[in-house]
Structure 1
Amino acid sequence: MKKKWLSTLLVLTCAASIAACSGNESGGSNGGAATNKPDNTGGEATKAADAGDNGFVNGKYSTPITLTTVWGLNENGAIFKEGETIENNILTQTIKERLGIEIKYNWVVTNTNDAYKTKLRLMLSSGEKMPDVVAYRGDLETVNMLIDSGQFMPVGDLVDQYANETYKTGLELDPAIWLPITRDGSKMALPILDYAYNGDHVMWVRQDWLENVGLQAPTTIAELETVMDAFVNGDPDKDGQKNTIGLATGFKNGFNNWMTDIGFVFGAFGTMPGQWNLNTEGKLEHGSVNPAAKEALAKLKEWMDKGYISQDAALYDETAGSELFTKGEAGIMFGPNWLPAWPFPDLKTNVPGATFKAYPVPGGNDGKIGSAGGNPPSNGYLFINKDAKHPEAVLHYYNWFFENTANPQPDSEFANGFKEGYDYALLPDGTLTADIAKYPELFPGLKDKAAPPLFYALTYEGARIPSLYADTHVKLASGAAAETPYEKQEFNTRTKENTDAMKVVVDQKDIRMKNYYMGPLTETMQSKNELLNKLLNETFSKIIYGQQPLDSFDTMVENWNKSGGEQITKEVNEWYDKAK
């Protein structure tokens, strides 16, 4: 999902990467009711599993088997040691040696401009036969296409029979994790677990700017305006010029995004745009048409008029918006806890001596606080071909990472990372480093970046235990000593700003405004979503820029309802009444 940050994170982390999800105005994903019972689908998955399980003894296939797949290489994250490739590297070699599973790639593309998604969708549109397993992390429309292709099997029986307890426990944390991939009671893909709260936002502030203007971090929208005014008019960078803005944002992709978000402004008035919120009557409503959104738009127009946000914000996506902060032009930015890994190192490069710190999301003047988040801890799916000879092998593969790398035991092979000289090295004093720039001799065969092998896993980062990351950083932020290998890895590879930010997230977890609709695209969504999203986004932008009066919001809501929004709301609530 356009993770440019991987290139920098390769240097900063040993055994784990950080992923982020992006908010959108799509209105929903996929659905059905979640269930912990086996699929009752005629036993297609069970038959395949029974037939393919022969030969897996003592954690390994006695006769090696092959899993076919396809892959999209992140252009910045595709770091391999000299002589290794995505098809032949330390990870694929280890999996073949330990599990007797050989990964064969039918095709590999460099994932520039969503090339992986494009190629997958072309295959689906043409009815081309899919490989044994397809990993996908991205838009829910493609997830729906994969399910609707009819090429992939229900996985409920496979999970019941082959998933280890760590994976099952993670799945049970939030039954809603299954909703996007459930059809008629059947679970159609394996969720790839992510760290809980990892996409929830904090307010990042240039600490040196705060000190330069003599203010404290804001806790309310009113205080935030005072700080932004000082950041615009008080010369916070002390260069004698009026060349700074308050808030780094970009709303080209919507108003509830994974980074450079302004959803908190809407949250301060009681709604969240671009998603389906639960109202006081227990019904789902689209947050962009709630009357509170009109108040938030009035506030954003005021900020635009006063220069608190960039005049080009509507042209910027999340990455471009973040550059306002990392280039030293803006003093505040909203985003996840892990931004000190990417993109904030660019700020250190561009503005030597710059400092930043995470603070809680500020509330409205009446005490309301709202930020998007709180969604189930998953970040992608594994689809298993119904014709795969060894469907159970995908679970054996995923289990191995949970058992070995997700939370390694002291003195285990993976206690320091996956492989010395790839994602970590040991210094003479026994401490760990992933800083190849400083210690190039400890990473032979690599040029300028470390190469964490877990990035090549079909599950993207090996395996993640949802509760582990937040629990670890809350503990470390309190000053407790790192004890387990995982805690030591996090302590040695994360910045203090990152750790402190995670504690801010957890302390403020109750403000998260969850998207309550995770069903499939409804019948009306399929034909009307594009039109309706365009209507919402264009009207929002024009109001903020003063190209339309504030009251045009009311006209927009009427048109939204008449053009399909009212029917979609009905369909969404029918799904919710059944799913809940």
Structure 2
Amino acid sequence: MKKWLSLLLTLSFAVAIAACSGGNGNNEPAPSSSANSGSNNSASEAPSGDNGFVDGKYTTPITLTTVWGLNENAAIFKEGESIEDNVLSRTIKERLGIEVKYNWVVTNTNDAYKTKLRLMLSSGEKMPDVVVYRGDLETVNMLIDSGQFMPVGDLVDQYANETYKKGLELDPAIWLPITRDGQKMALPILDYAYNGDHVMWVRQDWLDNVGLEAPKTIAEMEAVMDAFVNGDPDKDGQKNTIGLATGFKNGFNNWMTDIGFLFGAHGTMPGQWNLTADGKLEHGSINPAAKDALAKLKEWMDKGYISQDAALFDETTGSELFTKGEAGIIFGPNWLPAWPFPDLQANVPGATFKAYPVPAGNDGKIGSAGGNPPSNGYIFINKDSKHPEAILHYYNWFFDNTANPQPGSEFANGFAEGYDYALLPDGTLTADAKKYPELFPGLKEQTAPPLFYSLTYEGARIPTLYADTHVKLASGAAPETPYEKQEFNTRTKENIDAMKVVVDQKDIRMKNYYMGPLTETMQSKNELLNKLLNETYSKIVYGQQPLDSFDTMVDNWLKSGGEQITKEVNEWYEKAK
């Protein structure tokens, strides 16, 4: 849920997102007592012929069952509301005749949602009408392999509206992870294009204090990091700062606190399948260029440019080095000013930051992960559901009404007044509930905007809309459409400017070319091989193994299943391309 929560925090209704640690377990809502136990009892009987959906609404209300994982820090509703009874659920029931019931709800601490979902799958427990999942490919495969969910190709052809269909057509590779024997086994949840691509965020006040310009190359970045470590950039008279906030507990190519840019500057990208000059796919972690990047990373560790605890930090914990005022650079998406940077401004009043392009290597190479199909989750439809088309009617409604609302329409200002927007006395809009609490009665500090609770996570996103809007606004143009005005009024200038940096540098993105299911050998060997890679990388960085142990690791990786996986991946690619 990380991407949506960027918007969540921009709207000033929360101070942490799904990946954030330190949540309150007492926020977990109780499972619904009225939820049905399975999909067979989930929907009312509908008139034959039209499935009962007439003029945009089910003539006889139906029920969709599901399961859900609430972000631990946003499992807080407006006073008097809950996951099953809130302004969004009431609107959907009124407008569409669809009531969503939850068989169970967990607060998603330590991947609790994934864990409980996988326990259901492992035990063969009957699944609800729809299951929504955003995360690892292994769980996606488990959902497909359970045999409980239906192909969705015909449903899309028959029921999806044109906006959704056009989004799906932007990149046919969007279907590859969920295609089995030619069948499309889940509905992709569309995301904004480039929304996960990285920029280099730098503490601008630190740069000014040490008298340096933003780095354009790795060599210049090293000079900046050295000044951030040794030049007292925070002016407190102590040597208590580091250059780069990073955490590679989960690998070396992450959604935030990323170190992949350093590998990209050497010509590879770890943790994914890259396209080589001869048209073959290669695992980026075993490319010889990765060895050079590891040598540089060890040098940075030795010089104190990165934290000695980096291998213990995941993305969120690593980001706290930046938000606590300890580090001066962090790599991550355009929306970090929405989260987690408000923590920096709370912890270090007066701190400033700015987005810059990803720096180039000494030979001019630049590389950053990204450029993949605009999807960030999947909707699985139970093959026994009485109304398999209902989730498409549901998704269509958001595309038609909230994704890019028309001027003067009901949702032109936002979803619901007093929830995600309010009108000031002068007629202008605000989303700042903290500043104007009287305009947002019943909201608590971490109450999420209504669209957060939709089964499609953010309501609906039109892939091209976000980047196009931010590039326009960053260029100084006035907002014209309701969507442009919403973005202009709820995003910081730093956020908007960062998206333009991403788009201007979009050609550096190193795409992961393997978008298929886990191969036969991956299913049995992936865990072992990933452990081998990550442990060797970390030990090299910490000086626990010599640099040449990289070559031994590559040999072992190939012999332990990596060579066969490479063969399987390339066989898939030849068919897929």
TM-score by length of 2: 0.93
Q: C-alpha offsets along residues 41-74 of structure 1, whole Å, 9 cap, x if unaligned? A: xxxxxxx999674221111111111111111111
Which structure is higher in RCO with an 8 Å CA cutoff and minimum separation 6? Answer: 1
Residue 452 of structure 2 corresponds to residue 455 of structure 1 = yes
Q: What secondary structure does 1:461 align onto?
A: coil
- Structural mapping, 1:418-457, within 5 Å: 418-457=415-454
Show the counterpart of 1:216: 213
Taking structure 1 as reference, are residues 137 and 393 closer, same or farther at Cα in structure 2, changes over 3 Å only?
A: same
Structure 1 residue 369: Cα displacement:
0.3
Taking structure 1 as reference, are residues 308 and 14 closer, same or farther at Cα in structure 2, changes over 3 Å only?
A: closer
Show the counterpart of 2:11: 13
C-alpha distance in structure 1 between counterparts of 2:113 and 2:233, whole Å? 43
Structure 1 residue 576: Cα displacement:
0.5
C-alpha distance in structure 2 between counterparts of 1:577 and 1:5, whole Å? 32
Show the counterpart of 1:298: 295
Show the counterpart of 1:121: 118
Partner letter of residue 152 of structure 1? Answer: F
495-504 or 71-80: bigger deviation: 71-80
Show the counterpart of 2:528: 531
Identity of aligned residues (%): 88
Structure 1 residue 441: Cα displacement:
1.2
Structure 1 residue 76: Cα displacement:
1.2
Residue 177 of structure 2 corresponds to residue 188 of structure 1 = no
Equivalent of residue 147 in structure 2, options 141, 147, 150: 150
C-alpha distance in structure 2 between counterparts of 1:312 and 1:546, whole Å? 14
Structure 1 residue 12: Cα displacement:
2.7
Equivalent of residue 516 in structure 2, options 516, 519, 524: 519
Show the counterpart of 2:384: 387
Partner letter of residue 228 of structure 2? Answer: F
Equivalent of residue 51 in structure 2, options 44, 51, 54: 54
Equivalent of residue 238 in structure 1, options 227, 235, 240: 235
Taking structure 1 as reference, are residues 160 and 370 closer, same or farther at Cα in structure 2, changes over 3 Å only?
A: same
Q: 1:81·1:446 contact (CA, 8 Å) conserved in 2?
A: yes
Residue 275 of structure 2 corresponds to residue 275 of structure 1 = no
Equivalent of residue 413 in structure 2, options 404, 413, 416: 416
Q: What secondary structure does 2:464 align onto?
A: helix
Show the counterpart of 1:43: none
Q: What secondary structure does 1:70 align onto?
A: strand
Number of residue equivalences: 553
Q: C-alpha offsets along residues 352-405 of structure 1, whole Å, 9 cap, x if unaligned? A: 111000000001111100000001000100000001101111110000000000
C-alpha distance in structure 1 between counterparts of 2:514 and 2:46, whole Å? 32
Structure 1 residue 10: Cα displacement:
3.6
Q: 2:15·2:446 contact (CA, 8 Å) conserved in 1?
A: no
Partner letter of residue 427 of structure 2? Answer: G
Taking structure 1 as reference, are residues 15 and 418 closer, same or farther at Cα in structure 2, changes over 3 Å only?
A: farther
Show the counterpart of 2:36: none
Residue 135 of structure 2 corresponds to residue 138 of structure 1 = yes
- Structural mapping, 1:93-108, within 5 Å: 93-108=90-105
- Structural mapping, 1:22-421, within 5 Å: 53-421=50-418
Show the counterpart of 2:567: 570
Taking structure 1 as reference, are residues 49 and 375 closer, same or farther at Cα in structure 2, changes over 3 Å only?
A: farther
Show the counterpart of 1:38: none
Structure 1 residue 278: Cα displacement:
0.3
Structure 1 residue 523: Cα displacement:
1.0
C-alpha distance in structure 2 between counterparts of 1:285 and 1:252, whole Å? 23
Q: C-alpha offsets along residues 101-148 of structure 1, whole Å, 9 cap, x if unaligned? A: 111111111111111111111111111111111111111111100000
Partner letter of residue 467 of structure 1? Answer: T
TM-score by length of 1: 0.92
Q: 1:11·1:434 contact (CA, 8 Å) conserved in 2?
A: no
Q: 1:272·1:287 contact (CA, 8 Å) conserved in 2?
A: yes
Q: C-alpha offsets along residues 276-327 of structure 1, whole Å, 9 cap, x if unaligned? A: 0000010000000000000000110111111111111111111111011111
Equivalent of residue 555 in structure 2, options 535, 558, 563: 558
446-455 or 198-207: bigger deviation: 446-455
Show the counterpart of 2:484: 487
Taking structure 1 as reference, are residues 421 and 75 closer, same or farther at Cα in structure 2, changes over 3 Å only?
A: same
Unaligned runs of 5+ in 2: 21-44
Taking structure 1 as reference, are residues 15 and 488 closer, same or farther at Cα in structure 2, changes over 3 Å only?
A: farther
RMSD of aligned alpha carbons: 2.1
Taking structure 1 as reference, are residues 330 and 294 closer, same or farther at Cα in structure 2, changes over 3 Å only?
A: same
Taking structure 1 as reference, are residues 459 and 468 closer, same or farther at Cα in structure 2, changes over 3 Å only?
A: same
C-alpha distance in structure 1 between counterparts of 2:166 and 2:89, whole Å? 27
Q: 1:276·1:517 contact (CA, 8 Å) conserved in 2?
A: yes
Partner letter of residue 13 of structure 1? Answer: L
Q: 2:10·2:337 contact (CA, 8 Å) conserved in 1?
A: no
Partner letter of residue 561 of structure 1? Answer: L
Partner letter of residue 80 of structure 2? Answer: G
Taking structure 1 as reference, are residues 17 and 500 closer, same or farther at Cα in structure 2, changes over 3 Å only?
A: farther
